[in-house]
Amino acid sequence: MRYRLMTAAFAAGVALGAAAPASATDLEVTHWWTSGGEAAAVAELAKAFDATGNKWVDGAIAGSGGTARPIMISRITGGDPMAATQFNHGRQAEELVQAGLMRDFTDLAAKEKWTEIVRPKSLLDSCTLDGKIYCVPVNIHSWQWLWLSNKAFEDAGVAVPKNWDEFVAAAPALEAKGIVPLAVGGQPWQTSGAFDVLLLSVGGTDTFLKVYKDKNAEFAAGPEVAKVFKAADDARKMAKNTNVQDWNQATNMVITGKAGGQIMGDWAQGEFQVAGKVAGKDYSCLPGLGLNEAIATGGDAFYFPLLKDAEKSQAQEALATTLLDPKTQVAFNLKKGSLPVRGDVDLNTANDCMKKGLDILAKGNIVPWTDQLLTQDSQKQKEDLFSEFFANPNLTLEDAQKRFAEIIATAD
C-alpha cells in the first residue's frame, strides 16, 4: 500500500466539498474527545461542517470511550438518537447495524468513490457489513507508541532510550531522581492497551496475530507470550507510582518531566502540541516501542443513526461528505495527531513523529487492532484482567497468563 504525500494544489483539485443545503440544519454529534488536543481537533470538524450552512451541535461525553459508548448505545436503542456518533474502527457498532438502527451509506460511498480514496482498504472494510457501508472513517490512530520526555532523561543523567529494553534499563536512574519511569492511567482500557502494545512490540507481529486473530489459546498460554507477560511485569513496576486516572493526565506527566514515558496512542501528540512542545526536541517517540515498527490501522469513524426528520437526514449526507473532504482531513488530523484516511492529501507540515507513522504506513507495516479482531465482550474481559494486573502486584505472571489464555479460548 503506497501512501503518497501530494501537493496542496492536487488535494484541492480533488476536494469533495459539500454544497450548502437550502436551509441550515442542526446536527447533534456525539463523541468522547474532550482533552485539550482532542477539542482542538473537533473544532476543525465543526468549522468545516458549519461552512456547509448547517450547524454542528457538539455532544462531547467526558470519560473516554468506555464511559461514552454505553451512553451513546443507550440513546440509540432507546429511541433518542443523535445525528452522528463516533465509534472506533471495528466491531463496536456491529449489533446496532444488525438491529437496523444505523444508516446505510453505500450509495453515497459509490457516488463519491470512497473505495478509491480511503486507504488502507481495511478501514472501509470495518464499516462494511453484508456488503453495505455504514460509517465514515475519519482517521488512522495507532496505539503502538512510547512517548518519552527528553527533559526527564536529561535530569536523570541518562540518554533518551532508543527502544523498550533501554527504557527499562533507565528506570532506576529515573526513580533515583523522583521521576516515575512509566505513566499509566488507572482506566482499564489504558492498561489493556499497554499490554496489547507489548504483545505486538515485544512478542512480534506473528505472536500478536496468533493470539488475537487466530485466537490460539494454547499459544497464548505458551512461552512466547510468557515473555510478553515478563515485559508487562516490568511495566507495572515502573508505573506503580503514577496515581492519575485519565490518559491525558498521564501524558501531562511526560510533558512536564514528571514521568519518563508513556505507552499511548498517537492521539497523545495533540496534548504535546497544545502544550507547545516540539517533537524531536522536547519529546521523542518510539513506534513499536523501538522493537517492532508496525502500527495498527485503528482509529475513529462516524456512524449515522436512522432519523425520521428528512432535513436532518439530508444534512447527515453533507456531514459524511465533509468528513472525507481533503481540507478537513488535513486540518483535523494535524491537530489530532492521527493520520488521514486519504492517501492523496498534503502532509508536508507533519511533525517528526507523524512522519515516522507515515513512513511505516507507506511501507505497509500495518496490522489490524483489537477493536477489529475482538468483540466488545472479549475486550471487556481483557480490560478487567489487566486493570487488576497493574493494580495488584500479588497477581502472579503465571496466574495472569492462564486467565488471559482462558479469555482467548472463548473470544469471538
For 122-181, what is each residue's pLDDT tens digit? Answer: 889 989 999 999 999 999 989 999 999 999 999 999 999 999 999 999 999 999 999 999
**Grid cell of 118 as nine digits:** 480511503
Helix (H) or strand (E) holding 146: strand 145-149
Pairing of strands 366-367, 295-296: parallel
**Which pTM does this prediction carry?**
0.80
Q: Note the pLDDT of residue 23.
A: 66
Listed in sequence order, the DSSP H helices in 120-277 are 121-126, 150-156, 164-176, 188-201, 205-212, 217-220, 223-239, 247-255, 268-274
Mean pLDDT over the full length of the chain: 91
Q: Coil, strand or helix: which one is 118?
A: strand
CA dist 70 and 26 (Å) reads 24
Q: Over range 280-287, report the average pLDDT.
A: 96
Q: Which phi and psi angles does 261 have, rounded to 5°?
A: -160, 175
